[in-house]
Amino acid sequence: MIATLPLMLGLAASAATLTGGFATLGLRGRLSLILGLSAGIVIGVAALELFPEALELSRSLHRRWLAWVAVVAGLCGYIALSRLLAALPRWGPRLRGHVAPAGLTLHSFVDGCGIGLAFQLSPEVGWGVAIAILSHDVADGVNIVGLSLASHDRIVARYWLLLNGLAPIAGVVAGQMFRIPPLLLAALLAALAGAFFAIGGLELLPRSFRSTSRILALSSALVGFALIFLITQRGGSTPSGWLTFFA
């Protein structure tokens, strides 16, 4: 049975994501700066949130090697898939532009799972996880739009934004119904971190460099990274950190 409070918090996470995304869609003519900001946010999420949590979780499971192997696999896997799709003659390049938004949507789904799983443990843990998620969901909305606009028009960006907005709700429902094995969660978080490093460093930042001056592109990326740094410092533990209680 799905509890009402976690579902309401999932709706709040969805609303925060949509708010950030639609605000970004309104910034016409600022695509280069949005791409730079998104690059910094993606790299910040990978470096300051996903990978540290994967390391902590893998250590608690006495599998210290797991996070390192998974982050390399995620990085190399994303690059290989991106190159493969780019080499396909007809549908490959179009599909390639959907890989990065799909990764961010999966991240939002995992966030929702964190809320659902944490409330199975206790309301106190559930609220801690929810606050950590809600603190960065506006940035998630900015990010999904920036990634989508890098390869698609505003119509496609809106579709991905809506899917990303629905992902936390679906995650809450899944988290209330099932439990993700901690070993799988650690590998998934690290693999997502590796993919995000590739997305930010090899796709978004170079595209921002090509669209505007390197100083402006790098400055916007640093602002995005600093935003995630402030969020992780003030937002407390992230969902995966709380999920070590399930180990």
The DSSP output letter for 245 is: G
- Whether 182 contacts 247, CB under 8 Å: yes
Give CA–CA dist 35/45, Å, rounded: 15
Q: How confident is the model at residue 245 (pLDDT cuts 50, 70, 90)?
A: very low
Nearest to 202 by CA among 83, 68, 55, 54: 83
Query: Is pTM beyond 0.75 here?
Result: no
Q: Which two tokens stand for residue 11?
A: 């709706």
Give CA–CA dist 179/181, Å, rounded: 6
Residue for token pair 């796709």: 203
Q: Express each pLDDT in 145-169 by its tens digit.
A: 877 877 777 888 889 899 999 999 9
Distance in angstroms between the alpha carbons of the first and the last residue of the chain: 23
- Between the alpha carbon of residue 200 and those of residues 86, 108, 232, the distances in Å are 18, 17, 18
Give the residue, 247 or 136, on which the prediction is more confident: 136
Predicted local confidence at residue 1, as pLDDT:
55
Q: Express each pLDDT in 192-212 by its tens digit.
A: 889 889 888 887 788 778 766
| DSSP code per residue over 60-117 | HTT-HHHHHHHHHHHHHHHHHHHHHHHHSSSSHHHHHHHHHHHHHHHHHHHHHHHHHH
Q: How is the chain split among helix, strand and coil, in percent rounded to 5? A: 85, 0, 15
Q: Average model confidence (pLDDT) for the chain?
A: 80
Predicted local confidence at residue 27, as pLDDT:
72
H or E stretch covering 34: helix 31-45
